[in-house]
Structure 1
Amino acid sequence: MKKQIYDEKNGLNYTLHGDYYLPNLEINEEESTYGKYGIMRKQFLKEHRSARYQYLVLTGKLTEHLNQIDKEVREKVEMLVEQMAEQWGVTEELKMQDQMEWVRRMNNIKSVAEEMVEKDIYK
């Protein structure tokens, strides 16, 4: 049997290990810039969507997927924080008058916004 083979259907090279051909897989870690939400999505995929996770790993699209999810969720959180701060009257004026109250309200708003967008991570 050949030591190395190439499968044209999926574009992968395989190496013979004992009686089995195993794919030569490389994880592209140079793009792994995803943050908190990308890490949360990766953990969810590993635990609850293992077939999807394996597919993304095998096709080399996992890092791209996690970066995209992280970016989308961060943008949604930022947008919601801005909108909610405006609705709840958390202004720069409040920040100047009572910094601790402003911090309390902004932390509360950020927590609520993160809860609202978590559904995007866990689908």
Structure 2
Amino acid sequence: MSNNLSYTQTGDYLLPNLTLHQPKTPLGKYGRMRLNFLKQQHPVLYHTMLLNGSLYPTLNELEQTAAAMKEQMMTDLLAKNPAPDKEKNQMAWVQHMNSLREQIEEVIQTELIYN
């Protein structure tokens, strides 16, 4: 096992100089939800992924997957359940679109976030 770490003397102890490489881009909604889920429900998995450096790439991949899934599901649901005419009945259109968005959010949370 090679020892490529540098150490700092703190009192009588030598502490390793460790850095955590986090991405420059902040996590989106789904990445933050998954991060909180892992912290609260699976702390061992969270710490393992954090220490081996796979946590943030995994969360960014999940974020991209959720965005693609959301877009695809919205087009599929609009094809099956067309929205009312926006110019004639705006409130019905908003209600319909919010209903579809909530259905998609529930599927994403069930399949990707809390799985």
Question: TM-score scaled by structure 1?
Answer: 0.76
Moved >6 Å (runs of 4+): 18-21
Displacement of 1:67 in angstroms is 0.7
| Secondary structure at 2:47 match in 1 | helix
CA distance in 2, matches of 1:34, 1:28: 14
Structure showing the higher strand proportion among its residues: 1
Q: Which residue of 1 aligns with 2:82?
A: 89
| 1:105-120 correspondence runs (5 A) | 105-119=96-110, 120=112
CA distance in 2, matches of 1:117, 1:12: 42
Greater RCO between the two (CA within 8 Å, min separation 6)?
A: 2
Aligned pair count reads 113
Q: Once superposed, what is the RMSD of the aligned Cα atoms?
A: 2.4
Which of 34, 38, 41 does residue 34 from structure 2 map onto? 41
> What is the percentage of aligned positions where both structures have the same residue?
30
In structure 1, runs of 5+ residues without a counterpart are 1-6
- Structure 1 position 121 matched with structure 2 position 113: yes
Displacement of 1:36 in angstroms is 0.3
Cα gap change, 1:26 to 1:107, in 2 (>3 Å): same
Question: TM-score scaled by structure 2?
Answer: 0.80
